[in-house]
Amino acid sequence: MKDGSDPAFSRGDGDIGPIHVGIIMDGNGRWAAQRGLPRIEGHRRGVEALRQAVRAAPDFGIRYLTLYSFSTENWTRPPQEVSDLMALLKRFIRNDLAELHSHNVRVKVIGLRDNLDKDIGALLREAEDLTRHNTGLTLVIAFNYGSRQEIAQAARILAEKALAGRITPEDITPTTLAHHLDTAGIPDPDLIIRTSGERRLSNFLMWQAAYAELVFLPIYWPDFDRAALAGAVTDYAHRERRFGGVAAPLAVKTGS
Ligand code: FPP
């Protein structure tokens, strides 16, 4: 895992690559079905694609990589699949934490922790604690995560602070609300990638993605690799980001 070693994407003055990339890793089940394999096999191969994405990200100048690993809605899947996904997360952390740490990766987990098994909660905490001071890629694992739940939780905390007289309703702004999201301190995603051809956010970083560029890839997640990431980053580099303003040359002309 090199840090910004591809000159085409290295970070520096005038760099046009995304700092924060979020990925909706979709299509594991369909990948498996196409091959007559059980769904769990798609998820297993999905973990391999996840490893490739984490290894490749720094080479494109990416500093934050957020992976949607288990949504608050995924509990509605058959119990066997839910328990398979939990087991995969545990195995991933047990097998890969040392390597992530040795590559200076900082792990951060977003999502609800309260209804997770104790051992999963402990592993997630261990991963965060061990890598807390690392300065390379920040790997954000969105696990038991849902944007609506995250925003509602932030609103609840702010309401409690207002009721306690610690803030006034006027203190509640987009900035203060963002400070109460799980992603506080993490820059908004510049690019969201979704595999499998589906074109929706599915409760992923909905607040944070207000101005993200969206790239939808027609491949299933287990087939995602360095080349697919390179393609998405190149697509992103050709987008014009205006954040609700106007294109830069026009802004200069009108003197605004
Ligand atoms: C979507 O494919 C994928 C998921 C719900 C889980 C993603 C999980 C992994 C890649 C592995 C486990 C995560 C970690 C952090 C080790 P799908 O099952 O919805 O596919 P389908 O739409 O084709 O059925």
What is the number of the ligand 1 atom nearest to the C-alpha of 93?
A: 16
Residue 115 among the catalytic residues:
no
Q: How far apart are CA 113 and CA 120, in angstroms?
A: 9
217 Cα to the center of ligand 1, angstroms: 15
Is the pLDDT at 3 greater than 50, yes or no? no
Residue 74 among the catalytic residues:
yes
- Of the candidates 79, 81, 55, 54, the one whose C-alpha atom is nearest the C-alpha of residue 66 is 54
Residue for token digits 């790239």? 215
Dihedral of alpha carbons 89, 91, 92, 94, sign? positive
Residue for token digits 């790997």? 139
Pocket lined around ligand 1, Cβ cut-off 6 Å: 25-30, 43, 46-47, 50, 69, 74, 85, 88-89, 92, 141, 196, 221
Cα of first residue to Cα of last residue in the chain, in angstroms, is 43
pLDDT digits (tens, 9 = 90+) for 69-87: 999 999 999 999 999 999 9
From the number of C-beta atoms within 10 Å of its C-beta (0-12, 13-18, 19+), residue 154 rates as buried
pLDDT digits (tens, 9 = 90+) for 134-148: 999 999 999 999 999
If you take atom 16 of ligand 1, which residue's CA is the nearest one? 89
pLDDT digits (tens, 9 = 90+) for 210-255: 999 999 999 999 999 999 999 999 999 999 888 888 876 655 444 3
What percent of the chain lies above the pLDDT cut of 70?
91
pLDDT at 240: 86
Is the pLDDT at 2 greater than 80, yes or no? no
253 Cα to the center of ligand 1, angstroms: 48
Whole-prediction pTM: 0.91
pLDDT at 142: 98
147 Cα to the center of ligand 1, angstroms: 17
Q: How far apart are CA 31 and CA 179, in angstroms?
A: 38
Superfamily, domain 18-146+188-235: Decaprenyl diphosphate synthase-like (3.40.1180.10)
The total number of residues written for the chain in this structure: 256
Is the pLDDT at 200 greater than 60, yes or no? yes
Alpha carbon distances (Å) from 210 to 164, 192, 198, 201: 31, 11, 19, 11
Residues in CB range of 87: below 8 A, 6 or more apart = none
What is the number of the ligand 1 atom nearest to the C-alpha of 39?
A: 18
Confidence category of residue 7, pLDDT binned at 50, 70, 90: very low
Domain boundaries, the chain: 18-146+188-235
Confidence category of residue 205, pLDDT binned at 50, 70, 90: very high
pLDDT at 115: 87
pLDDT at 242: 83
Mutate which of 23, 24, 35, 43 for ligand 1 pocket (most atoms within 8 A of beta carbon) = 43
Mutate which of 23, 26, 81, 109 for ligand 1 pocket (most atoms within 8 A of beta carbon) = 26
